[in-house]
Structure 1
Amino acid sequence: MARRRWRLGLTLGALLAGTLAAGPTAAAEPTDYTLSVDQARTGAKIDDSMYGVFYEDINRAADGGLYAELVQNRSFEYSTADNASYKSLTSWDTSGSAQVLNDDGRLNARNRNYLSLAGGSSVTNSGYNTGIAVTQGKRYDFSVWARSGGTGNGAAGNAPLTLTLRDASGDLAPARRVTARGGWAKYKASFTAGRTSATGRLTVASGAPVALDEISLFPRDTYKGRANGLRADLAQKVADLKPGFLRFPGGCLVNTGSHEAYDEQSGWQRKRSYQWKDTIGPVEQRATNANFWGYNQSYGLGYYEYFQFAEDTGAMPLPVVPALVTGCGQNKATDDPALLKRHIQDTLDLIEFANGPATSEWGKKRAAMGHPKPFGLTHLEVGNEENLPEEFFARFKEFRSAIEAKYPDITVISNSGPDDSGSTFDKAWQLNRDADVAMVDEHYYNSPQWFLENNDRYDSYDRKGPKVFLGEYASQGNKFSNALSEAAFMTGLERNADVVKLASYAPLLANEDYVQWKPNMIWYDNDQSWGSANYETQKLFMRNVGDEVVPSTASGTPATSGPITGAVGLSTWATSAAYDDVLVTGENGGTLLTDDFSGGDGQWSKAADKGTWAVQDGAYVQSDEAAENTLVTAGDKGWQNYDLNVKATKKAGKEGFMVAFGVKDTGNHYWWNLGGWNNTQSAVEKTVDGAKQTMVQDTTTIETGRSYDLRVEVRGRQVTLFLDGKKWGSFTDDKPAEPFRQVVTRDKATGDLIVKVVNAQGSDARTKVGLGSGSKVERNAKVTTLAADPAAENTKDATPVKPVTSTFRGVSDTFSYTFPANSVTFLRIKTG
């Protein structure tokens, strides 16, 4: 997961709105296009695995999400190491005498905490979100590890346990009873829900002293009926995509942490990197770890379950292992040869776990879990979004060398950092090309505007160079406008399927009450799930891929862009900064604005809730070090072809300062962000309707207390920037945001031509389609259309963005079709 400026998905608002301008309220005059298909030629072949899904345990995607366990903190392992608000009894209420212990009486060395209950005491779990969700008539399987005697190693006598499932209105199922006898053992029972509720509570009451651990409640109806399985509705939504691959277990989740080894004597080391061996075997013996995204992960959903899910959905498994170079804002390389050697051996063992015979050391462990047959692993990724390309690549080569020596048929995938461009991206790609790497993982989260402007991104990639795995991408929102822009971009991915071999939208899942990141493909609460507009779009593409591209061309939309126009602005992000001597001059040298703040700040407009701005000591100072996006503006929205000069000084805080130009409003502008991303780099960012994209960037950092002279020259759509009199960078913002995009593919099994057209504008696209003179085609074509208001967003209560199927009865070698405003359309045309 890339942690860019809008990484702070914790504060969303307009930043993640990501909408394109909606069409006019009255019907606009249709725009005329032509679309020509050359059936005599064949374009890129498309692999069955091209489109897949990327799973990461973010937004409570595992515990409380895809993993079907209904009890939260089932083994009392929550800790302040995971979240400052956590304690060992988080999500539990107790009555009577109850205490969490960590002593020699524990269940095992990795499951360190357990609960001691005195006779006549009880403990109640509240589950996730609003409670434990049950459905009338469905069965739920309870289990607990228990031993009689509450403290130490005592196991005297019997401990009768009463199990109840209730909500505020009363019992949800008849009570059940089990009796703990002697030492640690697993006890089971089942409930059948008498009514439906999303606010259930599970209570375990004891009639005698008892020790409890791993208190669990699972729906019997898991995906494919698997024990320790997946929540059926969420897993089915993923399966319905027909994914070509499953990348797991995450992005930032993988390449962060301390990398410390488990020490049997001193106890479990929390906040260690994600290591696959921690996640297999009996669930009560799996480690618990802190999650990078701010909560606990039980590893009940582990590598075996990921491989099994990939197999169940027909997806190619694609695990990601840490390269011992942290990313996602941490930027540290672990320099420990012994540790590196161990992680490389762990990766070789992982391949054996997936592919080895049941007689091998790790294949035997897989077989013992219930899968004697190998999983058939073919691809494996090392590392994720490292910002230290040279340090990462040195370690990557050691991983690749060891893997290829023992498993030459495994494709080892590298990466290019967290962004679509910039110095890290360029250096990483150079290293990958020079070393003849098979495949490089690219990640980017950009504005809808960027996706409309970059349909041709892969047209110029070297056909002989490393292939591309687009492992994470999304525009900044879940509105239909976001999905439209992504769909337009995907036509370019398919057109370049000889270069882009794999692609997956990200993130996949989000629990609506535990959100660290937006946008997301599938949303859910305790008992409901719904696909976003992006999900519906991805599903259309993933279920209508085809086997090969059929070359096609389309006319474009008349360009209407003029010069960059707008006012100027000043801003900060989690930083206090001072500005002085602002001067804006026109291209003819005339003064448009001058302000040394000797007369106050009357020329500037500011929002009341965006920072604390005041004139201090002859400068304009923003003093709130916690405030983000504190933009103040001055001047005329119609200004063009001007120079902006300003002095800026960082006073305190995490980052540097921002100078804005081309300002239309708070959601539409450019700003030069110096010392951004925790003062690790600088960039010019363009914001359209609240969503950002990077125009140019470098590694400039900002010193506290030092005054910097900034100059921005705007000429037409060309911008040049100077820092202390030296040219810092420049860019030309002249890429057309083409709203009409197409790709045509052929499905060899059916003989269908699949004509895919995106019309991301507020007017219909009246189109003359040519399939070639004399083409033999059936008159009737199956049509699937997604069309909605650009601002439409699917929720649990309404799904305005959903596919509509119809039949078009007018196909010939040349025919006319009108593609609706703001739509994605798939025409399946029978040929020959």
Structure 2
Amino acid sequence: MQTFQINTKEKREATGDLFGIFFEDINHAADGGLYAELIQNRAFEFDPIDNKKYHALYAWMPCQLDEKNGQTDAADVSLTILTDSPYTKKNPHYLRITANSAAAGVKNLGFNSGIALEGGETYHFSCYLRKIDEPVTVKACLIGKEGQIYASCELTADASDWKKYTADLKIAEGTSCTDANLALVCMTPGSVEVDFVSLFPAHTYKNRPNGLRKDLCEMLEAMHPKFIRFPGGCLVHDGQLDENARDSMYRWKNTIGPVEERPARRNNWGYNQTLGLGYYEYFQLAEDIGAEPLPVLPAAYDPHHQRKVPLDELGPWIDDALDLIEFANGDETTVWGKKRADMGHPKPFGLHYLAIGNEEVGEGFTERYPYFHKAIREKYPDIKLIGSASPFAAGGEYERGWASARECGCDLIDEHYYMNTDWMIANVDRYDNFLSSDPKVFLGEYASWGNQWENGLAEAAFMTGLEKNVHAVGLACYAPMFANVDYVNWRPDMIWFDNHQVYGSVNYYVQSMFMRHQGTHRLDFTVTEPELEQTARLLAEQKIRESAKTISGPIRVLVNEGQGVFFEVTVKNHDTGKLHRFTDCVCGTESENRAASYENAVETGVIPKDWTNYTLTMKAKETEGKKGFLVYLGEASDHMLWTLGGWQNLDISMEHFKNGKGACLSEAMFSAEKDHEYELMLVVKDRTMKIYVDGEEYLDTIDKIPVPKPLYVSAALDEVTGDVIVKAVNITGNSQTAQLALDGVNGTHNVLVEKMAAALSDENTMENKKCVVPAVSEETIPDGTFTRTFEPYSLTILRIRQ
């Protein structure tokens, strides 16, 4: 039995704002999600540049109301999109409805299955109307699939100029539905022009106009996050350099002021952003849930398409950063502080953190970041500045980001990685040797690949490592946060929803437990174990290492979406001198674009399992294509993937895939050239790997073996309450008994126990939202030293009341 001796008398480093949340508009997290607007394409601005299937009338359909037969799509109406005289040039499209018979018009389909209506709720409707010739009475109504009208109002379009109309539509008690539409029909034949059709529930979060969806915000508030990072994510820096371009980078100044003046933009995840949820609303949300705002701004560089603002033209981009700080923190006598006050928030928001760049790669970022850093530091020395360390956990671009952060004197540096559970367990101690004198780590995006309890448990173990290393880790947030179940771009995700319901994944509850029980200061502890038990445990761990220490199996090669040849494939055993020569092969055909997958790769040979010290060499040439090569090593269920070219043909990497879930071990910049004959070499020593291309070393990495500990433990003091907090994670299938010895704690104490335990494959779903959730209980301990048994596959938090 292990003993954990916890020193409660001496508080160590402050935990600060360690655990927070990250919002990115991915998976329709904003429009159709957190942003409470119920009308999709409210201003007729959807465009093929957003998504190839989009057009200005996307989500709108002709509609005819019939009191006897309900609504029908076979409407006697003409719908025309115009741009010659819009309400605002920022959103130039509007709709002309020409009704050839009474009660003809248009309806909006909403998101998901339609518009969700709650019995007894009021909905704020608004639109802009303009008459063409004679005044026209327009009926706005919420209608069901069978034509039933849940609520309606009549508006008379009697002005030749654009005029805003508003009405409250109340739903009768007991008439909830999830598939309504909003119809706008002309009560008599005639023509009318329409723009900015909007429908909001009256009860948004905090009842704010242009507000947010109440149930989703309450999920966030319940977590008690210390900060919220926004608005992304890749959407921050992916786009044109021209701020007025429809597919521009995300520019915060386009997201404030009246919603009608916020230009619609392409979201790089394949849909449209209205920007109704903008920077003012993000700051307001942070304030409402008690979290520090942490905005991310682009660094005038798009790594996705290698677009760069010339260094001598960075001024407006740097001004954007300086003006944002003034918008958040300036008083009403400042230009941007007044703009905030005019929007309804005279008091400054209190911005303390600012990130420049998001998982950047290439010199384009490290050339430009210092200009931002210098200007911001000179004007606002108290703002904590955050650099970027690429989307990889190691390798050339990761090191480039760290070198830049050290040189510039960043307060924090943003690390991102998505890994399998094996990597999480093997790297719990990742930050043990990071220096407190370096910039602190901001783990701005991380997750394991999945929403099962196995994932939540691995993340919990990893988070104990973050807590124990607050000398080096300043901030951390799981990503992504939201996913609309009908519009998924990426998974896993923390919170899932549709148009009327929401549930938290197991990952959500793990994050929430750590946030609510973070404490204010880390506590030291030592671990001791009886000699015989320790010996047995160490022998068992050694067997795990020995059984997993080889990188072997089939060698499979593939030209990534092209064609080419691999030849002179050899592997040499450095222990025995034995040399195998394998099959040359041609990959791809002139008429076929080969899919990048293990199944489509060509096997050239097999490395014996007992080979632990060897060199694999080959030559490769891409004759058609633009993404380079893939080299697989191992079985389909457990293999290494060596990529040369990769995403956008920009990098070289080594990944470990287990049961389809990957962990990128290292990465560097590399672009494959067509018709170039490459000499490739992989040198393996147990789990270490060195990769060479044309004699140049690109990667030097190790695939750490996950060796489970009996328990993963962290301890903290809550200085506000005086409570001692102990977190214990048991990732094994056996109960683990340990003694907890709290120095400085004597006599009887009440203990709050919050615990999650489940089978590894258990998962919360829309059908079973509470499959795995925390259980809370109260216990009493007779003294500061006590014994406790921790269930298999469990996360337990003990809050010892003082």
Q: What is the identity, as a one-letter code, of the residue corresponding to 2:59? A: S
Deviation of residue 650 (structure 1)? 2.4
Deviation of residue 185 (structure 1)? 1.1
Q: Is the 8 A contact 2:748 2:780 kept in 1?
A: no
Q: Is the 8 A contact 1:163 1:205 kept in 2?
A: yes
SS in 2 for 1:342: helix
- Does residue 776 in structure 1 map to residue 746 in structure 2? yes
Distance in 2 between the 1:78 and 1:827 partners?
51
Higher alpha-carbon deviation: 186-195 or 507-516 = 186-195
Distance in 2 between the 1:704 and 1:639 partners?
36
SS in 1 for 2:341: helix
Deviation of residue 415 (structure 1)? 1.6
Distance in 2 between the 1:568 and 1:709 partners?
20
Aligned residue pair count: 761
Q: Hey, what does 2:714 align to over in structure 1?
A: 743
Deviation of residue 291 (structure 1)? 0.9
List per-residue Cα deviations over 1:351-385 (Å, max 9, x = no partner).
22222222432222222221122111222222222
Q: Hey, what does 1:487 align to over in structure 2?
A: 460
SS in 2 for 1:199: strand
SS in 2 for 1:235: helix
- The one of 162, 181, 185 equivalent to 2:158 is 181
- The one of 235, 246, 251 equivalent to 1:275 is 251
Q: Hey, what does 1:235 align to over in structure 2?
A: 217
Q: Hey, what does 2:184 align to over in structure 1?
A: 204
Q: Hey, what does 1:701 align to over in structure 2?
A: 671
- Does residue 596 in structure 1 map to residue 567 in structure 2? no
SS in 1 for 2:305: coil
Q: Hey, what does 1:335 align to over in structure 2?
A: 310
- The one of 366, 370, 378 equivalent to 1:405 is 378
- The one of 52, 57, 64 equivalent to 1:89 is 57
Deviation of residue 66 (structure 1)? 0.3
Q: Hey, what does 1:568 align to over in structure 2?
A: 554
Change (3 A) 1:177 1:574: same
Q: What is the identity, as a one-letter code, of the residue corresponding to 1:184? A: W
Give percent identity, aligned residues only: 38
Deviation of residue 131 (structure 1)? 0.9
SS in 1 for 2:185: strand
Q: Is the 8 A contact 2:227 2:294 kept in 1?
A: yes
Distance in 2 between the 1:79 and 1:68 partners?
22
Change (3 A) 1:828 1:71: same
List per-residue Cα deviations over 1:511-560 (Å, max 9, x = no partner).
11111111111111111111111101000000001011111234686412
What's the C-alpha RMSD, in Å, of the aligned pairs? Answer: 2.4
Distance in 2 between the 1:68 and 1:803 partners?
29
Change (3 A) 1:650 1:70: same
Deviation of residue 42 (structure 1)? 2.5
- Does residue 115 in structure 1 map to residue 83 in structure 2? no
Q: Is the 8 A contact 1:554 1:742 kept in 2?
A: no
Distance in 2 between the 1:727 and 1:108 partners?
56
Q: Is the 8 A contact 2:417 2:447 kept in 1?
A: yes
Q: Hey, what does 1:225 align to over in structure 2?
A: 207
Q: Is the 8 A contact 1:442 1:471 kept in 2?
A: yes
List per-residue Cα deviations over 1:449-489 (Å, max 9, x = no partner).
22212222222222122222221111122121111111111
Higher alpha-carbon deviation: 723-732 or 784-793 = 723-732
Distance in 2 between the 1:777 and 1:450 partners?
41
Deviation of residue 733 (structure 1)? 3.3
- Does residue 451 in structure 1 map to residue 419 in structure 2? no
Q: What is the identity, as a one-letter code, of the residue corresponding to 1:146? A: L
Deviation of residue 393 (structure 1)? 3.4
Q: Hey, what does 1:301 align to over in structure 2?
A: 277
Distance in 2 between the 1:374 and 1:40 partners?
38
Q: Is the 8 A contact 2:56 2:81 kept in 1?
A: no
Q: Hey, what does 2:512 align to over in structure 1?
A: 539
Q: Is the 8 A contact 1:667 1:691 kept in 2?
A: no
Q: What is the identity, as a one-letter code, of the residue corresponding to 2:432? A: D
Q: What is the identity, as a one-letter code, of the residue corresponding to 2:555? A: G
SS in 2 for 1:550: strand
TM-score by length of 1: 0.87
SS in 2 for 1:187: strand
List per-residue Cα deviations over 1:742-762 (Å, max 9, x = no partner).
100011222211110111122
Q: What is the identity, as a one-letter code, of the residue corresponding to 2:261? A: Q
Q: Hey, what does 2:72 align to over in structure 1?
A: none
Distance in 2 between the 1:588 and 1:402 partners?
57
Q: Which structure has the higher relative contact order (CA within 8 Å, separation 6+)?
A: 1
Q: What is the identity, as a one-letter code, of the residue corresponding to 1:35? A: F
Distance in 1 between the 2:420 and 2:782 partners?
36
SS in 2 for 1:687: strand
Q: Hey, what does 1:366 align to over in structure 2?
A: 340
Q: Hey, what does 1:375 align to over in structure 2?
A: 349
SS in 2 for 1:452: helix
Q: Hey, what does 1:352 align to over in structure 2?
A: 326
Q: Hey, what does 1:609 align to over in structure 2?
A: none
Q: Is the 8 A contact 2:8 2:717 kept in 1?
A: no
SS in 2 for 1:396: helix
List per-residue Cα deviations over 1:676-708 (Å, max 9, x = no partner).
223211122112232222333333333323444
- Does residue 193 in structure 1 map to residue 171 in structure 2? yes
Q: Hey, what does 1:46 align to over in structure 2?
A: 15
Deviation of residue 594 (structure 1)? 5.1
Q: Hey, what does 2:23 align to over in structure 1?
A: 55
Mapping for residues 17-28 of structure 1, pairs under 5 Å: none
- The one of 778, 782, 785 equivalent to 1:814 is 785
SS in 2 for 1:52: strand
Q: Hey, what does 1:660 align to over in structure 2?
A: 632
- Does residue 314 in structure 1 map to residue 286 in structure 2? no
Higher alpha-carbon deviation: 581-590 or 129-138 = 581-590
List per-residue Cα deviations over 1:420-447 (Å, max 9, x = no partner).
2211221221122122222222222222
Deviation of residue 723 (structure 1)? 4.2
Q: What is the identity, as a one-letter code, of the residue corresponding to 2:180? A: G
SS in 2 for 1:39: strand
- Does residue 126 in structure 1 map to residue 113 in structure 2? no
Distance in 2 between the 1:588 and 1:377 partners?
59
Distance in 2 between the 1:161 and 1:490 partners?
57
Q: Hey, what does 1:614 align to over in structure 2?
A: none
Q: Is the 8 A contact 1:91 1:125 kept in 2?
A: yes
Deviation of residue 643 (structure 1)? 4.8
Higher alpha-carbon deviation: 464-473 or 582-591 = 582-591
Q: Is the 8 A contact 1:164 1:171 kept in 2?
A: no
Distance in 2 between the 1:525 and 1:205 partners?
28
Q: Hey, what does 2:143 align to over in structure 1?
A: 166
Long gaps (5+) in structure 2: 63-74, 529-533
Q: Is the 8 A contact 1:683 1:695 kept in 2?
A: yes
Deviation of residue 721 (structure 1)? 4.2
Distance in 2 between the 1:383 and 1:724 partners?
32
